[in-house]
Structure 1
Amino acid sequence: MSFLTPLALIFAGLSIPILIMYMLKLRRRDVLVSSTLLWRRLLRDREANAPWQRLRRNLLLLLQLLILALLTLALARPFVPAPTVVSGSVVILLDSSASMQASDVAPTRFDAAREAAQEIVAGLGVGDVATIIAVGPQPRLLASPTGDRAILRRALDNAAPTAGPADWEAAFALSAGGLVGAEDVRAIIISDGALPETLPPLPGEIRFVGVGGGSDNLAITALATREGAEGPQAFLRLVNYGESDAEPLIEFSADGVLFDVRRLPISAHNSAALTLTDLPYDMRVLQAQLSTEDALPLDDIAWATHTPPASGRVLLVSEGNLFLERALTALPGVELVRLSPDQLVPDEDYALYVFDTALTGTLPSANLWLIGPAVSSGGSFTATTVAHVAADDPLLRYVDLSDVHILQAHAVEPPPGARVLVEAEGGPLLFVAERSEGRLAVLTFDLRDSDLPLQIAFPILTANLVDWLLPRGGLATIAGEGWEGIRPGDPVPIPSDPEATEIRVTAPDSTRHVLPVGEKVPVFAATDQLGLYLIEQRDRSDTVLQSAVLTVNLFDEAESDIAPRASVRVGQTEITAAAREEEGHREFWPWLAGAALVVLVVEWWTYQRGTIQSR
């Protein structure tokens, strides 16, 4: 055992004055009397009040010396060496994503991670400071840099896991601000290791503390509906991340009423798909739920809304493209009109114009889909290997472009505010944009210069783009864009009705949120719960003008794959969970101070008891 402030031991010298006070007594004047028979008590007092006398056993003296000893030791701050993960200026990144709610570690991974963080806080030494950041869909600063372990422990006690993925990039940016300029800085990541591999480096040393013990988990990773030839259809994808085969029971409910139960065999580390074609024709909300229990229940249930398909007349200007024509005519509600490039575009209005040809004249002010447009100032490029795909965008839902080969593409500059969905090394291959005159989708290569029409992705991409391009009204506009693709924490813009004065959103836990209607499009950001959100637009008389249902699902394979990782990659460095331990200090002066207080109470009680008896 050692002492952090050994100079405080000099207070032990206060025991000398205490002893002297018990040895030094008052001296009184001698008086001659005729007999001591009546003065025996006085003689006893005389002996007791001699200037110096031998110390006798005295309980109060022992208690007072014990109090002094305990307080002196507490001021000296004794400690014993203890292993600790970090010291100095520490930033603790506590994973609070959905996968941390897995129960393969009792009670959950998050509780195990919080306990590990508590141990780190307990091992902080003199001068050490710590910052705690909870890494969820929106990283939260739980505790600013402080050396007060009580504040740090309280922050950890109040921490809670979320139901969404972790935004590690934002968390790293937040933590980097606290590490810059500090000395002896360290960052410690407490997680099951489901981190992206493209994280930027952090200043200082980085440690990784892993949690988790198993990988058995079944997850619904996709659920969507569409209008088929004979009514609504549903598509479900299930993934088995476990080590053994499974055949779970899946319950399907339409608007809260159970209507079908299916078994879906699925092998280990594999996926399986299921298509339902006998859905109720008037269904509004579809729910799928696994009846099999596993380590992570968050991805055992999913919801999807069904919106009537967009419909309208579509004008196709093309020299002849059988694959494109078949993909368009297969869409329900689409009335296709074909036109060759040498024919004049009629004056009548169409809901969507598809130009599968070179552009030679003025484009109509409407919704447009341009395929292989040749731009005189742009030229073309042959570096068409796909470099980036916006896989999270609803327009690319279930679209796999990994095996698509393209001979060449036109160099087209996307307009301001456009979303580039697919990009090659030479430039964008697919982008979309919102314009005042209508929506725009541009496929920068000719379909005849690629094998995309031969891929299963082509009819799916066509359906997604046409569904987005065809006009809808009110809340159905957003619902048709794939509200099923919203994940926890995603902000949702809600177009308002011209007569609406407020938008009311009821969350899955029945919490109500009211959004004011103004010049800007209202944005609802409190999507931190999984489930159904009811959106209502109301006028001044509180009449519901429009209503829609918003679904928030996990649908994140990185979170559902709960197999713990042995290492994480930060920058160019691979960091394993076997971090070396440092020598820390485990102090116990609070226990000594508490013991001194208890002895003080005993001393006071003993003194009061003796005083009362002497009376």
Structure 2
Amino acid sequence: MGIGSWLGLWFGLSIPAILAMYLLKRKFLDTTVPSHLLWQRVIKNLEANRPWQKLQNRLLLWLQLLAAALLVFALMKPYGSAADIGKAHVVLVADTSGSMSARSGSAQGQPGEEKLAMMKRMIKDYLEHEAKDGEITLLGMNAEPNLLISREKDRSRALQAVDSLEPYFGRAAYDETLSLASALTRDETDAEVVVFTDGQWRGEPDSVPFGVPVKVMNVEAEAGFNLALRQFGVKNGAEGKTAVAVVGQSGGAAKEANVNLYGDGKLLQTENAMLAPGGTATLTFREVPEAEVYRAEVEEADDYAADNEAYAFSERNETARILLLTRGNLFLEKALQLTGAEVVKMTLPGKEGEESAPGGAGRTAVPGNPPDLVVIDGTAPSFTAQDDWKKLMERTPVWTVGGGESKIDVGGAQPKLESHPVNQYASYNGVYIGSLLNRKLPDWASPIVSIGTHPAVIAGTENGQPRLSFLFDLQDTDFPLSAEFPIVVHEAVSWLTGSGGQNLGRHTAGSRVEIPVAADAVSARWVAKDGLAKTLQVPEIQADANEKGINALQQLPPVPGLYVFEQRNREGQMTEYYAEASADPFEGKQGTPNAKLAAIGQTADGKDAAAGKAAEVAADNSRGERRQAPLMTLLACLALLVILAEWGVYQRGRSI
């Protein structure tokens, strides 16, 4: 109980005023008059009555005093303490990143409980006690913010949405989800944001502005212990194949780690190492037998299972063969040779646009040993679109550089790069490109380097084979003089020749990868083959497609493990590509909370995080925050009832 305003006491002056009215009230006596002749005497007595007299016990007096006292108390704005039933709109942010799949307590030999299950109970408890009547919005975290429900009033549907939360093992959108929560509560006065997390948070959460109160509810779990395969690969050497695995741990005590090496599902070797607290160790497996898929597995159980396995694929033993069609480009030829490939140069006589065949008139023979890559420097000769040459170009990766078409002046502006394997180590800083080919982009092409609105480098897949085009002549730029040029050539050759293999390599779960989709493929799907994906029985996932067919850019499944991308044609023939989906390494860093996360637990009026944390603790102890419940309305209603009772007494026509 408290008082909101002591200024209401001024109305207390009405109480002595009421008393004064009764003190000054004229007193009339009941008088028996035997004759009307005595009226004159009675009137004289009435005129002589005294104004000041002793107060008498009258019901009307007490009712008027009670009404005045209630009005005075109401004007003082009294309030009581009541359980807070929550805001009108509550935005719940659920941390569904991969670290929430970690278990608590397994370090003591117990199976442990997932932090995600603990968080679900916390959210349900919050819905029951702190957000009883408000509208509920629930956000999860995938590669992008995941809006599960919006302004939902039905509690059963809200609970179903909470039960549907699943961990996302890829790179989760942490701060992006907070930004969405901030946008959803912008311009609202009766809303709040509640973040449920284990504290392991990537990014700068304190940089997201909020206009409403924010709470951070931490899942109280024991410090996690994690053994992780940080790196794994298999390479060819003079003495055969060698596998290398890097294993690390996040615990606070020394730990022995055993790593098993499998080849096509068969156990090949086991190595062990003693790991210092928070340390890593490199294990080498020598004389590894030939296999298509290798798997390294941590033998010991830990709290986080998503990074206990890693996969590697056999390297191609043969050297890539590149067929270079050029009228003379020493820089390009030397850069291709630096990749380690075998370069076969076919010199084209004449100038750009001439149709002469190499070696004089007549038909040019197709190479007897088909190349792994065809590089065309300048305008493609006409014979490449005829007969056997056309078939060779359709089934072989092709890289074109420049050409003799009309050009667009771009004035040497700075190129803009998109995410692509060819651009992995490129920046194009200081590179001058004066003009670009004015060419209509083919259906398979996507710009990976642009200057302004004009594409400068395009890449894609056609007929199941990778394609790359530089839409500028190397002779018209200083790019060959840049230190980046041989690096870009190496990455381009690696991407063009590597995409034709039978594996897609290792990628973060949920990321997008480019896949060589055959032109005659009518269906494709992801199938879980091994690892956590198989343990959790991840169902088959159909490939992304549009009206033109199956997309070359596909999204990996979100659960770590070994997958096969299967594609079939109308005849039922199937082509398979292996790919490993790996967990985001950040999620394996157990017990590393983000100190900046607590900074967002502040209200819009500037209360600091410490005050918010103290309020959170008090709320946990009392099973819900307490709020001020105003009593003014109740007291005013009571005063009105008293006045109505007073009016009833007055209607009797007699002063009691």
Q: Under TM normalisation by the shorter chain, which class is it?
A: 0.5 to 0.7
Partner of 2:338: 327
Deviation at 1:285, TM superposition (A): 1.5
* Per-residue Cα deviation, 1:255-276 (whole angstroms, up to 9, x for no partner): 1011122346766666666676
User: Aligned to 2:587, which of 544, 559, 567?
Assistant: 559
How has the CA–CA distance of structure 1 residues 376 and 512 changed in structure 2, closer, same or farther, with 3 Å as cutoff? closer
- Counterpart check, 1:378 vs 2:410: yes
Is this contact kept in 1: 2:298–2:308, CA < 8 A? yes
Q: How does 1:586-601 map to 2 (within 5 A)?
A: none
User: Aligned to 1:484, which of 506, 512, 515?
Assistant: 506
What is the alpha-carbon distance in structure 1 between the residues aligned to residue 248 and residue 456 of structure 2? 30
What is the alpha-carbon distance in structure 1 between the residues aligned to residue 296 and residue 129 of structure 2? 47
What is the alpha-carbon distance in structure 2 between the residues aligned to residue 319 and residue 553 of structure 1? 41
How has the CA–CA distance of structure 1 residues 520 and 435 changed in structure 2, closer, same or farther, with 3 Å as cutoff? closer
User: Aligned to 1:114, which of 113, 120, 124?
Assistant: 120
- Counterpart check, 1:368 vs 2:417: no
Query: Secondary structure of the equivalent of 2:506?
Result: helix
Q: How does 1:45-64 map to 2 (within 5 A)?
A: none
What is the alpha-carbon distance in structure 2 between the residues aligned to residue 418 and residue 202 of structure 1? 42
What is the alpha-carbon distance in structure 2 between the residues aligned to residue 246 and residue 138 of structure 1? 36
Deviation at 1:115, TM superposition (A): 3.5
Q: How does 1:353-502 map to 2 (within 5 A)?
A: 353=374, 367-368=398-399, 370=401, 377-380=409-412, 390=419, 393-394=420-421, 407-410=430-433, 432-433=459-460, 439-440=467-468, 442=470, 449-452=481-484, 458=487, 464-470=491-497, 476=501, 479-480=502-503, 482-488=504-510, 495-496=517-518, 498=520, 502=523
What is the alpha-carbon distance in structure 1 between the residues aligned to residue 514 and residue 459 of structure 2? 19
- Counterpart check, 1:130 vs 2:136: yes
User: Aligned to 2:226, which of 192, 217, 221?
Assistant: 217
* Per-residue Cα deviation, 1:33-79 (whole angstroms, up to 9, x for no partner): xxxxxxxxxxxxxxxxxxxxxxxxxxxxxxxxxxxxxxxxxxxxxx9
Deviation at 1:368, TM superposition (A): 1.7
How has the CA–CA distance of structure 1 residues 299 and 388 changed in structure 2, closer, same or farther, with 3 Å as cutoff? farther
What is the alpha-carbon distance in structure 2 between the residues aligned to residue 564 and residue 259 of structure 1? 39
Deviation at 1:95, TM superposition (A): 1.1
What is the alpha-carbon distance in structure 2 between the residues aligned to residue 163 and residue 278 of structure 1? 34
Partner of 1:251: 260
User: Aligned to 2:302, which of 291, 294, 299?
Assistant: 294
* Per-residue Cα deviation, 1:197-227 (whole angstroms, up to 9, x for no partner): 4986566444433446546534334445567
What is the alpha-carbon distance in structure 2 between the residues aligned to residue 447 and residue 338 of structure 1? 21
Is this contact kept in 2: 1:264–1:272, CA < 8 A? yes
* Per-residue Cα deviation, 1:129-174 (whole angstroms, up to 9, x for no partner): 3222222346544444235555544543443334433234664576
Is this contact kept in 2: 1:164–1:489, CA < 8 A? yes
Which AA in structure 1 matches 2:527?
A: T
User: Aligned to 2:166, which of 160, 163, 181?
Assistant: 160
How has the CA–CA distance of structure 1 residues 319 and 489 changed in structure 2, closer, same or farther, with 3 Å as cutoff? closer
User: Aligned to 1:533, which of 563, 566, 576?
Assistant: 563
Deviation at 1:83, TM superposition (A): 8.1
Partner of 2:344: 337
Is this contact kept in 2: 1:80–1:586, CA < 8 A? no
What is the alpha-carbon distance in structure 2 between the residues aligned to residue 519 and residue 195 of structure 1? 38
Deviation at 1:291, TM superposition (A): 2.0
- Counterpart check, 1:94 vs 2:94: yes
What is the alpha-carbon distance in structure 1 between the residues aligned to residue 114 and residue 434 of structure 2? 52
Deviation at 1:89, TM superposition (A): 1.5
Partner of 1:546: 574
Query: Secondary structure of the equivalent of 2:217?
Result: strand
How has the CA–CA distance of structure 1 residues 210 and 449 changed in structure 2, closer, same or farther, with 3 Å as cutoff? farther
Which runs of no fewer than 5 residues in structure 1 stay unpaired? 3-78, 588-615
What is the alpha-carbon distance in structure 2 between the residues aligned to residue 267 and residue 428 of structure 1? 51
Is this contact kept in 2: 1:89–1:128, CA < 8 A? yes
Partner of 2:634: none
* Per-residue Cα deviation, 1:403-461 (whole angstroms, up to 9, x for no partner): x9965443676986866768999x9998745579961165998576444589xxx4xx6
- Counterpart check, 1:284 vs 2:314: no
Query: Secondary structure of the equivalent of 1:564?
Result: coil
Query: Secondary structure of the equivalent of 2:167?
Result: coil
- Counterpart check, 1:521 vs 2:530: no
Partner of 2:270: 261
What is the alpha-carbon distance in structure 2 between the residues aligned to residue 205 and residue 395 of structure 1? 46
Query: Secondary structure of the equivalent of 1:553?
Result: strand
Partner of 1:304: 312
What is the alpha-carbon distance in structure 2 between the residues aligned to residue 250 and residue 228 of structure 1? 22
Partner of 1:59: none
* Per-residue Cα deviation, 1:178-201 (whole angstroms, up to 9, x for no partner): 435644232222223323349865
What is the alpha-carbon distance in structure 2 between the residues aligned to residue 280 and residue 114 of structure 1? 47
What is the alpha-carbon distance in structure 1 between the residues aligned to residue 434 and residue 493 of structure 2? 23
- Counterpart check, 1:103 vs 2:103: yes
Which AA in structure 2 matches 1:146?
A: E
Which AA in structure 2 matches 1:252?
A: L
Give me the identity figure in percent.
19
What is the alpha-carbon distance in structure 2 between the residues aligned to residue 486 and residue 433 of structure 1? 21
User: Aligned to 2:527, which of 477, 501, 506?
Assistant: 506
Q: Which has the larger radius of gyration?
A: 2
* Per-residue Cα deviation, 1:522-578 (whole angstroms, up to 9, x for no partner): 36768233223344445667x5x22425334224222222322122388xx999698
Which AA in structure 2 matches 1:368?
A: W
Is this contact kept in 1: 2:93–2:140, CA < 8 A? yes
Q: How does 1:174-185 map to 2 (within 5 A)?
A: 175=181, 178-179=184-185, 182-185=188-191
* Per-residue Cα deviation, 1:453-480 (whole angstroms, up to 9, x for no partner): 89xxx4xx6554313223966xx5xx55
Query: Secondary structure of the equivalent of 1:299?
Result: coil
Is this contact kept in 2: 1:567–1:576, CA < 8 A? no
Query: Secondary structure of the equivalent of 2:103?
Result: coil
* Per-residue Cα deviation, 1:80-116 (whole angstroms, up to 9, x for no partner): 75689x7441111101121111224652322333333
Which AA in structure 2 matches 1:527?
A: P
How has the CA–CA distance of structure 1 residues 293 and 184 changed in structure 2, closer, same or farther, with 3 Å as cutoff? same
Which AA in structure 2 matches 1:319?
A: L
Query: Secondary structure of the equivalent of 1:220?
Result: strand
- Counterpart check, 1:313 vs 2:340: no
CA RMSD in angstroms comes to 5.4
What is the alpha-carbon distance in structure 2 between the residues aligned to residue 439 and residue 148 of structure 1? 52
* Per-residue Cα deviation, 1:467-511 (whole angstroms, up to 9, x for no partner): 3223966xx5xx55x34225147587672562x654454333274
TM-score, scaled to structure 1: 0.60
How has the CA–CA distance of structure 1 residues 134 and 314 changed in structure 2, closer, same or farther, with 3 Å as cutoff? same
How has the CA–CA distance of structure 1 residues 125 and 108 changed in structure 2, closer, same or farther, with 3 Å as cutoff? closer
TM-score, scaled to structure 2: 0.57
User: Aligned to 1:194, which of 201, 206, 216?
Assistant: 201
Query: Secondary structure of the equivalent of 1:567?
Result: helix
Is this contact kept in 1: 2:400–2:468, CA < 8 A? yes
Partner of 2:24: none
How has the CA–CA distance of structure 1 residues 565 and 173 changed in structure 2, closer, same or farther, with 3 Å as cutoff? closer
Equivalences, count: 480
Query: Secondary structure of the equivalent of 2:270?
Result: strand
Query: Secondary structure of the equivalent of 2:113?
Result: coil
Which runs of no fewer than 5 residues in structure 2 stay unpaired? 3-79, 106-111, 352-356, 359-363, 386-392, 529-533, 625-656
